[in-house]
Structure 1
Amino acid sequence: MFYNNLIHNNKFFSLIENYYKKDKIPHSILLYGKKGIGKQGHAIELASSLNCTNRSNYLSCGRCHSCIQLKSMQHPNIHFIIPFPRKKILSKKDQPEKALSTKDIDELIKIKKAKIIDPYSDFNLQNANTILINSIRFLKKELYNTSIEKGWKIILIFEAEKLCIPGPESANSLLKILEEPPAKTIFILVTNEYNKILKTIKSRCQNFYFNKLSFQKIRTHLDSKMINDNDLKLLNKIFDGDFNLIKKNLKKINDFNKKINKLFEYILNCNSTSQNHIYFDKLNIDKLNWFDYMKLFIIVLRDLQILKSSSTIKNLHLKKNIETYNKILKRYPNAVWSNCISSIEKTNIIIKQNVYFPLALKTLSIEIKNNLLNQTQKSFI
């Protein structure tokens, strides 16, 4: 194995085994699914396997010359294509790296090193919003040049949906290669946004969907001494199974629990004053932490909705807060919890559109209070 810390997608590894048994390696594969579930890590695992000289059970050894080259990100037959920032206008003859500043290059080196150690680490540059057509042009030259190394030429394209942003030029250029790929060449495309990939590219790839990681798999790969089950379930819910974000936020779990307690205080006191937005102000919410707070708020509201409709704690996300939930339900017997959730989701969209933040905050406060008391809503937006 190339990685010893990758949560295996067994169906994917069975697919690799089937490729080798039938001696039919597809020329292009598209891996898609939620963010942070190991798609890029599995793509690198396949890339290492194809050129490994000491494979075991169809997987790479991690120790041969080819594997060592990949671990140093210096393998001449394995090419990584990722989005680059559009800071400079390039001519057709310019190498794509010319678009990068010295700071970008340093960052690129750093994220490559991190990716070799951790299959879930972010492999993207700041403000990188497109896969440059120059990346595809220079790829063509590389593919048709004679390689000093034997074996497969492998192209890994991460965030493949950005082949089509801002226009489809890069995607169309890649499509021409996919239609008639050179011998012993495989393209592995990875995306979190399958719907943004051109249909013509999808049709030329073997498409493989990655399911979200189960809680049990996440639990198995994290030391129980680091975090208990209840707190891990909370992080899993907040970050929608993104294992990279879950790991990054393990030490912040106490902060998340404090925020939840503040939200309980806000809800319980929401009907104690006509100026209910004051309680939102006490939460110290700003644009930077808004979405974290709202994820927590929605988790709390969904629990209240579940408890009101079924009176069972089995499906609650925050079971340990059952006493507070019952206190809230008693205080607001007519609350329309689904409308509270809808108000937050609507406000999230508005804030992403750069509406005046204090106004959005005040409007949401009024809507939340009206829904708690089941009164006619009033909005300023």
Structure 2
Amino acid sequence: MTAQLDSAQHAVLPPPGTQDSAGPHGWRVSTSKEVAYEVRLVAGLLDPDNPALATAGAPEPARPGRRLVVVDATVHELYGDRVRAYFEKRGVEYAPCVIDAHESVKNMETVFEIVSAMDAFGVSRRREPVIAIGGGVLTDLVGLAASLYRRSTPYVRVPTTLICMVDAAIGAKTGVNFHEHKNRLGTYHPSAVTLIDREFLGTLDRRHIRNGLAEILKMALVKDSALFEYLAAHGPRLVEDRMAVDTGSGDVATEVMRLAITGMLEELEPNLWEHDLKRLVDFGHTFSPTVEMHALPELLHGEAVSTDMALCAVLAHRRGLLDDAALHRVLGVMAGLGLPVWHPVCTTELIVRGLEDTVRHRDGRQLLPLPEGIGHVRFVDDVTPAELDAALRVLARTAEGA
């Protein structure tokens, strides 16, 4: 930012070329902030001989240092002893903050609980990144707390669920629910580093594997037909093997993870702050926020996304964007992955209300991404309640016949 001093008026004037718009007694501030963060696949993250976790996000002079580790209660039960042993071996002063993180407590009260732990620990401004170990709810909570504490505190994400590895932990957004609205309060505050170790998936319930595969299917349907073919051919085995490396489907699981993460980051990077609301990655996220909040605790996030994708696939078919064979394949892959295409809360009234809320979120437009063939997308702005009602009837019959 540059400025000039007018001694007669004792005012700082804007640089040449901006005075007309700012006025002779006004100022225009223009700056930019470089944003860079890492997403890394790391095997053996809790191996004490592996320095990745202990050094992530911290400047060299501050190592090994101190760390507040915010960890999901279930993850703490499964891995707490290994986390403690890891930091002790690495010589890191470590304090755990255990949070029973789930969608029903994804709110500001829990954020304040994390902020209180940060304050009690005395987290420094820049040298001691908070470490978040858990699923998407936990990493969102910690991310929001870190963005608020001293207006910006670095943190590190260690996702332990598949949906977090391929979606929640690799973008810039944080968020919590407010009233009946999903992620209504939030910030853009990416972690310094996201460390992904698929070993955590070995203790995950298979339902949560399916939950993550729903977000992977999202990328396949609107961006990557090759990824779709992997899911069509190997989906049930990926669920059975929990996306493990050391199985017969290990190489496929590795490629599925690579394609999903690459595709997501390709879409996020040029539009990280969502200045452009025409977002391919919003596929599956038009109606699902409303469905998910009304179906709690019955539906997981990815399951709600699956119902949204199925609805959009039927809408696309009725508009001639998907032929009969493509629609059959899409619904077939969902069935193979064990994902729902419909839920009893999916009434026309609720779905229309969800669309209305999304229109407000997208600045007055639907910007509804529909699959155009498999691996491509078309945005539409003119979906009617009658169309939604007809598509829901198709999905209800499909679900009844499943």
Tell me the TM-score normalised to structure 1 length: 0.30
Of Structure 1 and Structure 2, which has the larger fraction of its residues in strand? Answer: 2
- TM-score between the two structures when normalised by the length of structure 2: 0.29
Bigger Rg, structure 1 or 2: 1
